[in-house]
Amino acid sequence: MSKCSVKSALVVGAGIVGVSTAYALQKEGVKVTLVDRKGPCAGTSYGNAGAIVDGSSVPNAMPGLWKSVPSMLADPTGPLTIRWSYMYKIAPWLLRFVNESRPHRAEANAAALRALTKNVASDWLALTKETALDDLVTDVGWLKVFDSDAGFEGTKSSRDMMIRHNTEFEVLGMRELRDLEPNLSTIFRHGIFQKRSRFLLNPERMVVGIADAFKDIGGDIVISDIHSLQSDDKGVTAIGSGGVLQADTLVLCTGAWSKNLAGQFGAKIPLDTERGYHLMFPVIEDKPIQRPILYGEKSFVLAPLETGVRMTSQVEFAGLENGPDFRRVRKLIPYAKKMLPSLVTEEKDVWLGYRPSLPDSLPVIGPSPKDPKVVFAFGHQHYGMSLGPTTAKLVRNIILGQPQAIPLWPYRANRFF
């Protein structure tokens, strides 16, 4: 595809990846219609912790991780839950996940992840300056803390991988943690600090703001639940609850709901969902924290958003159809209070979201195997908010036939088959 041949585009999905992509294409003179079943930031992007993690290089499937799964499942406040009724459905995905944890596969995935994330902070800075939303971004970094020597030592393989793949970080002791976050509990003995990372004070307001900027430069937003995609020599057709939409090209950014639509264009993708919960607590007026902080042993984050303190939690495998189970996230409230003594644990909101995940921790970014007029951009797992503007640049370059800064073959749709 070339810029002269692409006059119009449909971008399906209005999370951070979709709105960033729609804005990037509209800015280049392509007439874009952004389509979503509910509207901008109505899905997974809404519940994000707001961390923009620059230079990530550690895939979830690390060597030896599978040995820890039984203890994780046995811990009622541990980082992993699997609904037993869903086990037979997730089993093939888990087998692929174990395969991706082999040392040579983990190294390859780390290199691909690092290549994709190496410029996320600068890509965010460029987008927020253009859209006058830079007041919602702070440069406070990303912090992980550990209350035990064993918990910190358990990160050695991850830290070694970060060193091998040039991910910048600092190891902090108790004194450095106290200086950085004086209101954090003194129980924490170790920290890992990624200084280059950024923080969104309000992810929802950011995504909606980008969508508004897209409309301001001539973009259209349509509410429609797309269920069918078709193509011919004239272009691409999307059929949904809002009727029939047509354009020269289409970008699929529907996150955890992308599997069936991608399958209509020749892609057999082992996509599943890592369900994640959040709780919202009131704003801390006195003795707050300054940045999102991960409690390493319990795998939850406290993030000081402008609307309150958000606790995002862990991973649940239960698919898209099963209802939420908020009991597990509520069991973490005492640990959140232990982590941050000034936290007011009045529950303002509780929420379930769906992280679109592939076994190798990499998204799908690139044309469909069946038709280059359809471009895939989904499966960003825990990095969706971080990678929104970066993915938009890559998709824009695909559609307009422009050179890419990195090779895209590690993210191709047919890499598993």
Determine the Cα–Cα distance for residues 385 and 45; give it in Å rounded to an integer: 7
Give the model confidence (pLDDT) of 266-317 as tens digits.
899 999 999 999 999 999 999 999 999 999 999 999 999 999 999 998 899 9
By the 8 A CB rule, do 377 and 21 touch? Answer: yes
Nearest to 357 by CA among 258, 250, 285, 245: 258
Is the pLDDT at 242 greater than 70? The verdict is yes
Please state, in angstroms and as integers, the Cα–Cα distance from residue 213 to each residue in 39, 133, 137, 210, 350, following that order.
15, 10, 17, 5, 29
Is the pLDDT at 183 greater than 60? The verdict is yes
Is the pLDDT at 352 greater than 70? The verdict is yes
Burial of 294 (0-12, 13-18, 19+ CB in 10 A): buried
Averaged pLDDT for residues 208-219: 98
Is the pLDDT at 1 greater than 80? The verdict is no
Is the pLDDT at 172 greater than 50? The verdict is yes
Q: What is the pLDDT of residue 70?
A: 85
Give the model confidence (pLDDT) of 131-159 as tens digits.
999 999 999 999 999 999 999 999 999 99
Q: What is the pLDDT of residue 401?
A: 95
Confidence tier at 378 by pLDDT (50, 70, 90): very high
**Which structural domains are found in the chain, ordered by start?**
8-46+205-268+361-411 (3.50.50.60), 50-201+271-357 (3.30.9.10)
Is the pLDDT at 4 greater than 60? The verdict is no
Is the pLDDT at 393 greater than 70? The verdict is yes
What size, in residues, is the chain? 417
In the chain, the percentage of residues whose pLDDT exceeds 90 is 92
Determine the Cα–Cα distance for residues 228 and 237; give it in Å rounded to an integer: 8
Give the model confidence (pLDDT) of 10-45 as tens digits.
999 999 999 999 999 999 999 999 999 999 999 889
Averaged pLDDT for residues 105-123: 97
Confidence tier at 344 by pLDDT (50, 70, 90): very high
Q: What is the pLDDT of residue 79?
A: 85
Confidence tier at 65 by pLDDT (50, 70, 90): confident
- DSSP states along 102-115: SHHHHHHHHHHHHH
pTM for the model stands at 0.96
Determine the Cα–Cα distance for residues 244 and 33; give it in Å rounded to an integer: 12
Q: What is the pLDDT of residue 2?
A: 46
By the 8 A CB rule, do 61 and 360 touch? Answer: yes
Determine the Cα–Cα distance for residues 345 and 219; give it in Å rounded to an integer: 41
Q: Report the DSSP pairing between strands 272-281 and 80-82.
A: unpaired
Mean of per-residue pLDDT scores for the chain:
95
Averaged pLDDT for residues 204-209: 97
Averaged pLDDT for residues 197-204: 97
By the 8 A CB rule, do 358 and 270 touch? Answer: yes
Estimate to the nearest angstrom the gap between the alpha carbon of 23 and the chain centroid: 19
Return the structure tokens found at 189: 């003995």
- DSSP states along 4-66: TT--EEEEE--SHHHHHHHHHHHHTT-EEEEEESS-TT-SGGGG---EE-TT----SS-TTGG
Q: What is the pLDDT of residue 259?
A: 95
Name, in order, each residue with C-beta under 8 angstroms of 183's C-beta and a sequence gap of 6 or more: 287, 288, 289, 340, 341, 342
